[in-house]
Structures are given as C-alpha cells and as structure tokens.
Amino acid sequence: YILIADNLAPIKDAVLMHQIQKPIRIILCGTSYGINLQYLNLARKTGGSVHTMESDLVDLIKMNEGEKFTFMKQKFIIKNGVIVKG
C-alpha cells in the first residue's frame, strides 16, 4: 500500500494502526519543518518505508531498541519500541 500524506497533519485513525497487516510505503509532503513521528512509527510497525523528495528511509522494522539514526537531518532513537526524537 502507498500512503501519500501531509506531514503536518496527524494520523486521524492512529488507534487502528495495529490492524494493518501489509507494509505501508509513505510518501511525505511538507517535510521542511521536520518529520511527523507518527508516520515513522506507522512505517516501522507495518514493515514499510518513508519517502520524501530528498531522502528514503527503509528497513525501519530491522532497527533494534536503542538504535539511533538520522533522517532528513534529524536524529531519532528507538525507545520502548517506538521512534522518538533523539
């Protein structure tokens, strides 16, 4: 599945995220002011990926607890099973 999303808008049905059984490839628009963590976590939980005009982030599902990474010049870490700013 492909989700084209406005990075500045929150995911409205985030509580249903656990029901998704297929990888979601997320194309984010409006990333000039940072990345919405909800979309990173959706991609990680479904085994999907995140794509912007400048960069692609794949294999989030393979990252381990405590692992740090940089995407779009921002630092993130996986803490308690979710991606947070690091």
pLDDT digits (tens, 9 = 90+) for 22-76: 999 999 999 999 999 999 999 999 999 999 999 999 999 999 999 999 999 999 9
Going by pLDDT thresholds of 50, 70 and 90, the confidence category of residue 14 is: confident
pTM of the full structure:
0.93
Q: How far is CA 17 from CA 2, 43, 65, 75, in A?
A: 15, 10, 20, 24
- How far is the C-alpha of 12 from the C-alpha of 7, rounded, in Å? 12
Arithmetic mean of pLDDT, 4-33: 93
Phi/psi of residue 80, nearest 5 degrees: 55, 35
pLDDT at 43: 96
Under 8 Å between Cβ of 71 and 50: yes
Q: Give the per-residue pLDDT at 17.
A: 83
